[in-house]
Amino acid sequence: MAGHEASEKAAALRALHRRGQPLVLPNAWDAASARLFEAAGFPAVATSSGAVAATLGHADGQHMPVEEMLAAVARIARAVAVPVSADFEAGYGLEAGAVVERLLDAGAAGCNLEDSDPRTHTLVPVDVQAERLAAVRAAAGPALVINARIDVFLRKTGGLEDALARARSYLAAGADCVFPIFAPTEALAALVAGIDGPVNVLYRPGSPSLAELAALGVARVSFGSGLHRVAQSAVERLAARLRAGEEPFSG
Protein backbone atom coordinates (compact mmCIF):
# COMPACT_ATOMS: atom_id res chain seq x y z
CA MET A 1 0.00 0.00 0.00
CA ALA A 2 1.39 3.40 -1.01
CA GLY A 3 2.43 5.75 1.78
CA HIS A 4 -0.37 8.27 1.30
CA GLU A 5 -3.06 5.60 1.07
CA ALA A 6 -1.66 3.82 4.13
CA SER A 7 -1.73 7.03 6.17
CA GLU A 8 -5.29 7.77 5.05
CA LYS A 9 -6.54 4.32 6.03
CA ALA A 10 -4.71 4.47 9.36
CA ALA A 11 -6.19 7.90 10.04
CA ALA A 12 -9.68 6.59 9.28
CA LEU A 13 -9.14 3.61 11.59
CA ARG A 14 -7.68 5.80 14.35
CA ALA A 15 -10.65 8.17 14.21
CA LEU A 16 -13.05 5.27 14.88
CA HIS A 17 -11.63 4.84 18.41
CA ARG A 18 -13.92 6.96 20.58
CA ARG A 19 -14.61 6.56 24.28
CA GLY A 20 -18.22 5.66 24.84
CA GLN A 21 -18.82 5.05 21.12
CA PRO A 22 -16.69 1.96 20.65
CA LEU A 23 -15.48 0.64 17.35
CA VAL A 24 -17.07 -2.80 17.10
CA LEU A 25 -14.37 -4.61 15.21
CA PRO A 26 -15.16 -8.12 13.92
CA ASN A 27 -12.21 -10.46 13.48
CA ALA A 28 -12.04 -12.13 10.09
CA TRP A 29 -10.09 -15.23 9.13
CA ASP A 30 -10.12 -15.03 5.33
CA ALA A 31 -11.19 -12.80 2.45
CA ALA A 32 -14.72 -14.22 2.36
CA SER A 33 -15.43 -13.53 6.05
CA ALA A 34 -13.91 -10.05 5.76
CA ARG A 35 -16.19 -9.25 2.82
CA LEU A 36 -19.20 -10.44 4.81
CA PHE A 37 -18.33 -8.10 7.68
CA GLU A 38 -17.75 -5.20 5.29
CA ALA A 39 -21.07 -5.90 3.53
CA ALA A 40 -22.82 -5.88 6.91
CA GLY A 41 -21.69 -2.28 7.35
CA PHE A 42 -18.67 -2.50 9.64
CA PRO A 43 -16.26 0.40 8.99
CA ALA A 44 -13.16 -1.72 9.63
CA VAL A 45 -12.19 -5.34 10.14
CA ALA A 46 -9.43 -7.05 12.07
CA THR A 47 -7.77 -10.41 11.73
CA SER A 48 -7.50 -13.01 14.47
CA SER A 49 -4.19 -14.85 14.68
CA GLY A 50 -5.92 -17.88 16.16
CA ALA A 51 -8.62 -17.99 13.50
CA VAL A 52 -6.20 -17.41 10.62
CA ALA A 53 -3.86 -20.07 11.99
CA ALA A 54 -6.69 -22.58 12.34
CA THR A 55 -7.87 -21.87 8.80
CA LEU A 56 -4.39 -22.57 7.47
CA GLY A 57 -3.85 -25.69 9.57
CA HIS A 58 -1.63 -24.27 12.31
CA ALA A 59 -1.84 -23.71 16.05
CA ASP A 60 -2.04 -20.18 17.46
CA GLY A 61 0.93 -18.65 19.23
CA GLN A 62 3.30 -17.87 16.34
CA HIS A 63 3.36 -21.50 15.18
CA MET A 64 2.31 -20.30 11.74
CA PRO A 65 5.11 -19.19 9.39
CA VAL A 66 5.15 -15.41 9.19
CA GLU A 67 4.90 -15.55 5.39
CA GLU A 68 1.60 -17.39 5.66
CA MET A 69 0.28 -14.88 8.18
CA LEU A 70 1.26 -11.93 6.00
CA ALA A 71 -0.20 -13.56 2.89
CA ALA A 72 -3.51 -14.02 4.72
CA VAL A 73 -3.51 -10.37 5.82
CA ALA A 74 -2.75 -9.28 2.26
CA ARG A 75 -5.63 -11.34 0.82
CA ILE A 76 -8.03 -9.83 3.36
CA ALA A 77 -6.78 -6.28 2.76
CA ARG A 78 -7.17 -6.69 -1.01
CA ALA A 79 -10.68 -8.06 -0.60
CA VAL A 80 -12.16 -5.07 1.26
CA ALA A 81 -12.08 -1.30 0.98
CA VAL A 82 -12.27 -0.66 4.73
CA PRO A 83 -9.15 -0.49 6.94
CA VAL A 84 -7.74 -3.79 8.18
CA SER A 85 -5.99 -4.27 11.52
CA ALA A 86 -3.70 -7.30 11.64
CA ASP A 87 -3.23 -9.45 14.73
CA PHE A 88 0.54 -9.77 14.51
CA GLU A 89 1.01 -11.57 17.83
CA ALA A 90 4.45 -10.70 19.28
CA GLY A 91 5.95 -9.74 15.92
CA TYR A 92 7.23 -13.16 14.77
CA GLY A 93 10.79 -12.29 15.75
CA LEU A 94 11.02 -9.37 13.31
CA GLU A 95 12.73 -6.11 14.19
CA ALA A 96 10.50 -3.04 14.46
CA GLY A 97 11.33 -1.70 11.01
CA ALA A 98 10.62 -5.05 9.40
CA VAL A 99 7.33 -5.37 11.28
CA VAL A 100 6.18 -2.04 9.85
CA GLU A 101 7.49 -2.69 6.35
CA ARG A 102 5.90 -6.12 6.08
CA LEU A 103 2.54 -5.04 7.50
CA LEU A 104 2.30 -1.99 5.24
CA ASP A 105 3.30 -4.08 2.23
CA ALA A 106 0.43 -6.45 3.13
CA GLY A 107 -2.02 -3.53 3.19
CA ALA A 108 -2.63 -3.39 6.93
CA ALA A 109 -3.73 -0.09 8.49
CA GLY A 110 -3.19 -1.28 12.05
CA CYS A 111 -1.80 -4.09 14.14
CA ASN A 112 -1.97 -5.81 17.51
CA LEU A 113 1.35 -6.40 19.26
CA GLU A 114 1.34 -8.40 22.48
CA ASP A 115 3.67 -8.09 25.45
CA SER A 116 4.30 -11.72 26.33
CA ASP A 117 6.64 -14.21 24.74
CA PRO A 118 4.63 -16.96 22.99
CA ARG A 119 7.48 -19.42 23.52
CA THR A 120 7.72 -19.03 27.30
CA HIS A 121 4.29 -17.49 28.04
CA THR A 122 6.03 -14.91 30.22
CA LEU A 123 5.57 -11.15 30.14
CA VAL A 124 8.20 -9.03 28.44
CA PRO A 125 9.58 -6.40 30.85
CA VAL A 126 7.52 -3.24 30.52
CA ASP A 127 10.48 -1.04 29.57
CA VAL A 128 11.57 -3.49 26.87
CA GLN A 129 8.08 -3.62 25.37
CA ALA A 130 7.70 0.16 25.53
CA GLU A 131 11.01 0.56 23.70
CA ARG A 132 9.83 -1.86 21.02
CA LEU A 133 6.54 -0.02 20.58
CA ALA A 134 8.39 3.29 20.33
CA ALA A 135 10.58 1.80 17.60
CA VAL A 136 7.51 0.56 15.70
CA ARG A 137 5.95 4.01 15.99
CA ALA A 138 9.11 5.70 14.78
CA ALA A 139 9.29 3.38 11.77
CA ALA A 140 5.59 3.69 10.92
CA GLY A 141 4.92 7.34 11.61
CA PRO A 142 1.16 7.85 11.32
CA ALA A 143 0.71 5.02 8.80
CA LEU A 144 -0.12 2.27 11.32
CA VAL A 145 -2.57 2.15 14.24
CA ILE A 146 -0.82 0.31 17.06
CA ASN A 147 -3.02 -1.64 19.47
CA ALA A 148 -0.76 -2.66 22.36
CA ARG A 149 -1.97 -5.88 23.95
CA ILE A 150 -1.41 -6.24 27.69
CA ASP A 151 -1.18 -9.86 28.84
CA VAL A 152 -1.16 -9.32 32.62
CA PHE A 153 -4.57 -10.96 33.08
CA LEU A 154 -4.04 -13.60 30.41
CA ARG A 155 -0.79 -14.81 31.98
CA LYS A 156 -2.09 -14.28 35.54
CA THR A 157 1.10 -12.53 36.55
CA GLY A 158 -0.29 -9.27 37.90
CA GLY A 159 -3.37 -7.24 38.59
CA LEU A 160 -5.00 -3.92 37.95
CA GLU A 161 -2.05 -1.71 38.91
CA ASP A 162 0.31 -3.72 36.71
CA ALA A 163 -2.07 -3.41 33.76
CA LEU A 164 -2.46 0.33 34.33
CA ALA A 165 1.30 0.85 34.50
CA ARG A 166 1.83 -1.03 31.27
CA ALA A 167 -1.01 0.82 29.55
CA ARG A 168 0.40 4.21 30.48
CA SER A 169 3.89 3.22 29.39
CA TYR A 170 2.72 1.88 26.04
CA LEU A 171 0.62 4.94 25.25
CA ALA A 172 3.55 7.18 26.12
CA ALA A 173 5.68 5.10 23.74
CA GLY A 174 3.30 5.81 20.86
CA ALA A 175 0.58 3.16 20.97
CA ASP A 176 -2.82 4.37 19.78
CA CYS A 177 -4.88 1.96 21.88
CA VAL A 178 -4.25 -0.53 24.68
CA PHE A 179 -5.77 -3.98 24.96
CA PRO A 180 -5.80 -5.56 28.45
CA ILE A 181 -6.97 -8.91 27.14
CA PHE A 182 -9.06 -11.06 29.51
CA ALA A 183 -9.46 -8.19 31.95
CA PRO A 184 -12.13 -9.25 34.46
CA THR A 185 -15.43 -7.44 34.22
CA GLU A 186 -15.00 -5.94 37.69
CA ALA A 187 -11.75 -4.26 36.59
CA LEU A 188 -13.02 -2.66 33.40
CA ALA A 189 -14.35 0.57 34.91
CA ALA A 190 -11.10 1.20 36.79
CA LEU A 191 -9.03 0.42 33.70
CA VAL A 192 -10.95 2.81 31.48
CA ALA A 193 -10.92 5.53 34.15
CA GLY A 194 -7.22 5.09 34.83
CA ILE A 195 -6.00 5.06 31.22
CA ASP A 196 -5.76 8.31 29.28
CA GLY A 197 -6.34 6.73 25.91
CA PRO A 198 -8.54 4.28 24.01
CA VAL A 199 -9.13 0.89 25.63
CA ASN A 200 -9.92 -2.29 23.67
CA VAL A 201 -12.00 -5.02 25.34
CA LEU A 202 -12.29 -8.62 24.14
CA TYR A 203 -15.96 -9.56 23.84
CA ARG A 204 -16.59 -13.14 24.94
CA PRO A 205 -19.35 -15.18 26.56
CA GLY A 206 -20.26 -13.54 29.85
CA SER A 207 -18.93 -10.14 28.86
CA PRO A 208 -20.95 -7.01 29.53
CA SER A 209 -23.22 -6.10 26.63
CA LEU A 210 -22.00 -3.76 23.92
CA ALA A 211 -24.20 -1.03 25.41
CA GLU A 212 -22.69 -1.62 28.85
CA LEU A 213 -19.16 -1.48 27.45
CA ALA A 214 -19.99 1.79 25.73
CA ALA A 215 -21.33 3.21 29.01
CA LEU A 216 -18.03 2.28 30.68
CA GLY A 217 -16.15 4.36 28.10
CA VAL A 218 -14.59 1.50 26.12
CA ALA A 219 -13.31 2.66 22.71
CA ARG A 220 -12.90 -0.64 20.86
CA VAL A 221 -14.51 -4.06 21.11
CA SER A 222 -13.02 -7.05 19.32
CA PHE A 223 -13.81 -10.74 19.30
CA GLY A 224 -10.56 -12.63 18.86
CA SER A 225 -11.22 -16.07 17.41
CA GLY A 226 -14.74 -16.16 18.89
CA LEU A 227 -16.60 -15.47 15.64
CA HIS A 228 -14.57 -18.13 13.85
CA ARG A 229 -15.46 -20.64 16.57
CA VAL A 230 -19.16 -19.85 16.10
CA ALA A 231 -18.79 -20.44 12.34
CA GLN A 232 -16.89 -23.68 12.96
CA SER A 233 -19.61 -24.87 15.30
CA ALA A 234 -22.18 -24.34 12.56
CA VAL A 235 -20.06 -26.41 10.16
CA GLU A 236 -19.69 -29.15 12.79
CA ARG A 237 -23.47 -29.34 13.17
CA LEU A 238 -23.84 -29.52 9.39
CA ALA A 239 -21.25 -32.30 9.24
CA ALA A 240 -23.13 -34.26 11.90
CA ARG A 241 -26.37 -33.93 9.93
CA LEU A 242 -24.70 -35.12 6.75
CA ARG A 243 -23.05 -38.05 8.53
CA ALA A 244 -26.42 -39.04 9.98
CA GLY A 245 -27.95 -39.05 6.51
CA GLU A 246 -30.12 -36.01 7.19
CA GLU A 247 -30.90 -33.27 4.68
CA PRO A 248 -28.23 -30.60 5.19
CA PHE A 249 -30.43 -27.58 4.43
CA SER A 250 -33.67 -28.50 6.13
CA GLY A 251 -34.78 -27.37 9.59
- Is pLDDT at 35 greater than 70 in this prediction? yes
Q: Per the domain annotation, does 32 fall within a domain?
A: yes
Residue 4: is its pLDDT beyond 90? no
- What is the spatial distance between Cα 179 and Cα 129, in angstroms, rounded to a whole number? 14
Mean pLDDT of 186-203: 97
Q: Residue 251 falls within a domain, yes or no? A: no
Contact (Cβ atoms closer than 8 angstroms) between residue 66 and residue 92: yes
pLDDT tens, position by position, 76-87:
999 999 999 999
Residue 201's pLDDT is: 98
- Region at 219 (left for phi over 0; alpha for psi -120 to 50; beta for the rest): alpha
> What is the rounded average pLDDT of the residues 49-70?
96
d(C-alpha 126, C-alpha 161), whole Å: 13
What's the confidence (pLDDT) of residue 2? 58
221 phi and psi angles, rounded to 5 deg: -125, 120
Listed in sequence order, the residues at least 6 apart from 135 whose beta carbon sits closer than 8 Å to its beta carbon are 95, 96, 97
Instruction: Give residue 1's pLDDT.
Output: 60
The pLDDT > 70 percentage for the chain reads: 98
Assigned domain for 148 exists: yes
Within a domain: residue 249? no
Note whether residue 80 is domain-resident.
Answer: yes
> How does pLDDT run across 219-247, given as a tens digit for each residue?
999 999 999 999 999 999 999 999 999 98
What integer best gives the mean pLDDT of the chain?
96
| Per-residue pLDDT, 248 | 84
CATH number at residue 143: 3.20.20.60
pLDDT of residue 250: 72
pLDDT band with cut points at 50, 70 and 90 for residue 249: confident
Full domain range(s) for residue 191:
3-243
Among 56, 58, 119, 59, CA closest to 91: 119
pLDDT tens profile 85-136: 999 999 999 999 999 999 999 999 999 999 999 999 999 999 999 999 999 9
Grade residue 6 by pLDDT with cuts at 50, 70 and 90. Answer: confident
Residue 251: per-residue pLDDT: 59
Beta-strand pair 23-25/177-180? unpaired
In a domain, 169, yes or no: yes
Number of structural domains found in the chain: 1
